[in-house]
A and B are shown apart, each in its own frame.
Chain A
Amino acid sequence: MPLLTEPARTDDRDAPGADGTEPVRAWRSLEEWHAGGPGHEALSREHPPSAVLPPEGVARRTFLQLATASLAAAGFSGCFRQPQEKILPYSTPPEGLTPGVPLHFATGLEWNGRTVGLVVESHEGRPTKVEGNPLHPASLGAAGVFEQAALLGLYDPSRAKTARLRGVEAAWSTVRDALRQQAEREDAGAGLRFLVEPTSSPLVQALYARIQQRFPSARLIPCGAALADGRREGTRLAYGRVLDVVHDVGRAVVVAVDDDFLATTQPGHLRAARDFVNARTPEAMNRLWVAESTLTVTGGFADERLRLRPSQGAALMLALAEEVGVSPRTVRYYVQRGLLPAPPFKGPDTVYGEEHRVRLKAIRVLQARFLPLDAIQAELLRLSPEELRRLAETPVGAGTPPVPEDVPRMPPKRPGKDPTVEVARYQRWLLAPGLELHVSEQAEAKVRALAERVRALIEESEEGTLS
């Protein structure tokens, strides 16, 4: 009697038993339970009737025995004589190449429109190693995971070897002809769409501009695996135009709000990591404060890490601005006027450094002395960082020069009405404690230069008296 038999499926499956009760149905799968239903075909394939029959022809065991024996026999013949190796020299050697000596090429890899300069080692035309180019500002000798992995892409078997036209492999000449035919169309390019990767190449940008000039109705649509769209939209909202975000993290204090600037997926992270670590010397350790919603590399590296809901990011930024006494809007205004160095922006989240804080505090102190912004700007330019720091530490209102009550407040500027009023508007430059110089706002550059010389003279004389 066979051990395994094909279970009777069709006969007396649904027939009532001898005693009139339903027979007990044995089943191996849900499909079998629903025999005859939609899964019946698949079921018969899963358990074919021949599955329980003994195999015919060469059994698996015999086959393995034969294969092992022939493999062992093949091993004997390989002992003595090595297979003949071939040497295939160049027909026309590339210039400057000595076979056996690798060449190093300076090149660049563009990732999301940002280029990293690289040096690639190449053996007889085959690249083997990617390193950063020490002379390139975005690399400084470092290469990230994407740059290193780009090497594997060069040897990817599924890498495109020929052009494709409408999904079919085609010769380059065919594709060129098809493109030329398209380029000769007479209309403005309605319905013509280009999927383009983000690029910072001026050459490619010029090409795009020429395409747009030739086909005004055509559109270039950004296309990429991971576009930094949100970030660009943030800069557009803040500044009215799309800007690239460049981090400046080589500061004494770095505050990052939901900004993983050390992450390897972040464009510019190589430079950011180098700048940040360079500022982290044992003599002068910088501080990294990170507020973020998920644990990131940067957060793990932070001196102080604050868990923060994404919705609270803006509130934290406002609170930080409060600490230095100004609103974010004012900060942006100061940056625009040149009172503050341009901060490294990340969309709505900004990384501010210690320098910003000192300068903002100094501006507040100077504002309490009723100095106009122009004078403050001149003052900020004049003061050394050390003096600036001391100024920022003085309490607001202290050292205020006495302002006489009877100084006539100038009427607000009403342009185009009374020229004398315009000329009457003066800026007050604090030359020394108790000495002010009034310069007309309409003063020419010559007059301003004169005023600068006066101030320089006074400074010199002050230094002279001190020494």
Chain B
Amino acid sequence: MAPLFRPGTDSVLRAVIALALGVPAVALAGLLLLARNPLGRGSFTPREQPLPFDHRHHVGDEGIPCGYCHEGAWRSPVAGVPPTQRCLGCHAQVWNGSARLEPVRASGFDGTALPWNRVHALPDYVWFSHQIHVNKGVGCVTCHGRVDTMPAVQQVAPLTMGWCLDCHRDPTPWLRPVSEVANLTWRPPGDPRETGRAVQAALGVSPRTDCNTCHF
């Protein structure tokens, strides 16, 4: 009488068990990693806009400072996108016949909003205020990157909680004088920590790391 189980049965069984447990575990871990990865989230890809607005031209060539359009960053939680009338402030004179600016003129005349695509989106359970960061010596470029070199704006910082906490726990290398906040090309003259410590003392920078600083 032939044996009921052949010699390799144990190995087959172990392999089946390993696969049954391992495949879901690996798949789950992979999915979670992907969900936390800019690759999976697509957050580092340049974001197309309804209008071909180019920061390279406006900031880089024309030298328009950040605060001319995003003045809310200095006095509001949100930096804000400029109203259409501010676009037309120049473009009523410059390129006022351009077909590319037709949507801007239409928005300015009939009062409808230009539907810009949001690039930097924090979850709704996070409270973030531009005002405090900008007035305590955190530069635009520190979080938003060299916007003056981007044809279409893209996210350069992960904007995760760990990334926030890194700076909140040790802000000195990232601080700059308030006068240089909107300067995209400024670099600390010597040791960044040296400059940061001076700014920290001057502005009384003491970032909090309590949960309810951002989540309330």
Residues of chain A whose beta carbon lies under 8 Å from any beta carbon of chain B: 79-82, 84-93, 98-101
Contacts and interface: CB of A to CB of B under 8 A. Distances in A.
Contact of A85 (B34, B42, B121): B121
Given A89-B113, A91-B107, A99 B76 contact: yes
Interface residues of B, number: 30
Interface string B56-83: 0000000000000001100111101111
B84 A92 contact: yes
A98 B83 contact: no
Contacts of B111: 91-92
B41 to A, nearest CB: 6
**4 pairs of A and B residues whose beta carbons are closest in the complex:** A100-B76, A88-B113, A100-B78, A85-B118
Nearest to A81: B42
A79 B35 contact: yes
Contact of B72 (A80, A85, A86, A99): A99
Interface string B97-131: 00000000001101111111110010000000000
B200 interface: no
A290 B72 CA distance: 56
A89 B84 contact: yes
Nearest to A89: B81
B72 A89 contact: no
Nearest to B37: A80
Nearest to B85: A92
A100 B77 contact: yes
Interface of B: 31, 34-35, 40-42, 71-72, 75-78, 80-85, 107-108, 110-118, 121
5 contacts: A80-B34, A82-B41, A92-B111, A98-B76, A100-B78
Contacts of B110: 91
B155 to A, nearest CB: 12
Contacts of B80: 89, 98-100
Contacts of A98: 71-72, 75-76, 80
A80 B76 contact: no
A314 B40 CA distance: 81
B72 A79 contact: no
A99 B74 CA distance: 12
Given A89-B82, A100-B72, 8 more contacts: A85-B117, A85-B118, A87-B115, A91-B108, A91-B112, A91-B114, A98-B71, A101-B77
A378 B108 CA distance: 73
Contacts of A81: 40-42
Given A79-B31, A81-B41, A86-B115, A92 B83 contact: yes
A210 B50 CA distance: 55
A90 B84 contact: yes
